[in-house]
Amino acid sequence: MPSKSLVSFSLSICSVMLLGSPVLSQAQSQLPYWTKATSPTVARQELYPEVLNNKIYVVGGLLSPNTGFSAHFESYDPVKDTWTVLRPLPEARHHITLSAVNGLLYGIGGFTGGFPDWRAQPTMFIYNPSSNTWTQGTDLPVARAEGISAVVDNKVYLIGGRVRATENARLFNDHIDSVRNEVFDPITKRWSSLANASTPRNSAASAVIDGKIYVVGGRKFSKNADGTARQVNVANLEVYDPNLNRWQTRSPMPQARGGLAATSHLGKLYVFGGEQWVPEQKVFAESWVYDPKTDKWETLPPLPTPRHGLGASAVGNRIFVFGGGTKTGGNAATTSHEVLVLPTNGAIP
């Protein structure tokens, strides 16, 4: 589920006060720590937020129960601690990625339908904040959902996720995991194929650090002998270099998980939450930070509210973590909004 852009600006002391009191019993001098923030206006999960002009945008998602899905669109202002409802998507989607390029937001792919009637879509919707309007963009070469999108040098990369096993696929179980890696150029308005990822997976998370795309976690979908679905989490961390069109494998996460959230801050990768289906159903609170310079993971304070399918975005020295589901599956969407306050130099004690 999905994020992703790092916006370098410093929040004022006044704005810090707007974010509420610490959730944990830590003094504010002991960084990092969690605080609460204003909840989104709608409880949703399977979110892929994006930052544009110092605001966080969230679109679509699954509702509760998971037979419902949404075209709802809103933005969050970290300074004012307020949410603003915007013009909805032209069509409801869940697991739709969101990427910002040159002042516009690109909503790509995603599923239509409530469970189990999920059908991956090829559509691209483009949002212009200045006019609060959506327009139709260039369709994907292949319909896709539950992948990750990332922006490097003003181009949008879409990696992994699930594609239809057949053209007429219309159910959750009629899709398969993909290693597809494609890039969209907003200037030419064309999609191009690139080096495939090493691991086919869905429900991974990603962030961009120093011009490279870090893809972490997720799960692999397969079918049991009786036709039921089996989803096994992966811990893989793979890094894609767009300049070299090359993948590299780095140290895996300490714990495999799907449906997690990720973002970057000062050259490090931060991951939160997630879920697992086997060997037992579980929703995670554990959070970690990865340093590409040392190729090592460190433990962060756990999420106050364990969840999966959540969104995470970094603005200033804060990571805003919102929405998601508090139980495995799609029937426990929440409006929880919690903020991890980090040291201004990015160092984790």
- Reduce the secondary structure of 169-211 to three states and give it as a string: CCCHHHEEECCCEEEEECCCCEEEECCCCCCCCECCEEEEECC
Q: Which helix (H) or strand (E) holds 125?
A: strand 124-128
13 against 139, higher pLDDT: 139
Q: Domain ranges for the chain, please list them.
A: 6-341
Q: Are strands 6-7 and 311-315 parallel, antiparallel or unpaired?
A: parallel
In sequence order, the β-bridge partners of residue 66 are none
Please, which pLDDT band fits residue 18 given cuts at 50, 70 and 90? very low
Burial letters 70-91, b for 16+ CB under 10 A, else e? bbbbbbbbbbebebeebeebee
Check whether 5 has a pLDDT greater than 80.
Answer: no
Query: Residue 159 and residue 276: Cα distance in Å, rounded?
Result: 21
Backbone angles phi, psi at 67, to 5 degrees: -80, -10
Q: What is the pLDDT of residue 349?
A: 64
Query: For residues 223 and 334, which has the higher predicted lDDT (pLDDT)?
Result: 334
228 or 97, which is more confident:
97
| Residues pairing with 221 in the sheet | 231
How confident is the model at residue 12, as a pLDDT? 37
CA 215 to chain CA mean position, Å = 11
Which CATH class for the 6-341 domain?
mainly beta
Contacts of 68 (CB under 8 A, 6+ apart): 62, 114
Buried-exposed string 212-245: b where 16+ CB fall within 10 A, e elsewhere: bbbbbbbbbbeeeeeeeeebebbebbbbbebeee
Q: pLDDT digits over 271-283, tens only?
A: 999 999 999 999 9
For residue 80, the model assigns a pLDDT of 98
